[in-house]
Amino acid sequence: MYENPEASLTPEEFIPRLETKEFGRAYHYLPEVTSTNALARSMADKGGTAGTLVVAETQTGGRGRLGRNWVSPPGGIWLSLVLRPPLAPSRAPLQTLLAAVALREALLKGAGLACSLKWPNDVLCGRKKVAGILTEMKSAGENLEYLVAGVGVNANFPGNLLPKPLREKAGTLLDLLGRPVDRPGLLADFLEIWEGYYTRALQRGYDQVLEAWRQGSGTLGKKIRIHTTRGPVTGRALDIHAEGGLIVETGPGILETFLAGEVTILEK
């Protein structure tokens, strides 16, 4: 059994590191939970404030998009943050990009890893996915009541704890670095950078997020296949749209914007 030698994410070890104003200030740490997103949503339903953070050491029913499963052994960073941005529900995908940009920056700062972003919600190091984001929301008509941003980072566990079929595509920070990362420090940095992007986006709009996403992207410029509800479509990923969709040239001079879907990159 792999023993984890580094600091834990208990409030005692984490809170002294936190320098945010709101993000993570209501901190709920659990050794085990079904899904931090499910718990954060129920807290938000009961009035949980913006910035409420749920972190678990392990999840027994971690969720990906579209009902998929997220494998969450101990040693990862499994978190969900409650947000209440003044944003039309149709623009909620921007919050996924915003969290991805902040996580990429935190990984560079805290672990020295230059990762790339894969639309819409993946963080890759090399060709392996080390983190994923699941943004869920509750809206009341034209208004967003709350949004729960769930982030899973494969931090301090070896990749062989993941099921075999996942190992080719999934990586962990421990395997990449050959040593554990400082999880409380990385989480505190991430929240600080995330809050910075979030606050600026609310004040001045999302241009800075889109620009940082373009710079960190490993998707733009590539030939891709996008799996959508109407089947697979092939083309070249050209740009990110102002509301977070992916603009793809699907034929000579034909540009289509996709708001959701699963992307496979077809070239190196």
Q: Is 119 a binder of ligand BT5 (CB under 6 A)? A: no
Stretch that binds ligand BT5, among 20-28, 78-86, 89-97, 177-185 (CB under 6 A): 78-86
What tokens appear for 172 in the block? 């962990």
Spell out, one character per residue from 48 to 67, where the chain touches ligand BT5: x when CB under 6 A holds, - when not.
-----------x--xxxx--
What tokens appear for 260 in the block? 């959701």
Q: Is 68 a binder of ligand BT5 (CB under 6 A)? A: yes
Residue holding tokens 């070896």? 158
Q: Site for ligand BT5 (CB under 6 A): which residue of 37, 95, 96, 156?
A: 37
Minimum Å gap between C-beta 27 and ligand BT5 is: 15
Q: Is 134 a binder of ligand BT5 (CB under 6 A)? A: yes
Q: Site for ligand BT5 (CB under 6 A): which residue of 43, 79, 123, 191?
A: 79
Q: Which is nearer to ligand BT5, 37 or 201 (CB)?
A: 37
Q: Is 218 a binder of ligand BT5 (CB under 6 A)? A: no
Stretch that binds ligand BT5, among 31-39, 84-92, 187-195, 235-243 (CB under 6 A): 31-39
Q: Which is nearer to ligand BT5, 17 or 129 (CB)?
A: 129
Stretch that binds ligand BT5, among 3-11, 71-79, 215-223, 253-261 (CB under 6 A): 71-79
Q: Which residues contact ligand BT5 (rule: CB under 6 A)?
A: 35-37, 59, 62-65, 68-72, 78-80, 121-122, 129, 132-134, 150-152, 154, 162, 166, 170
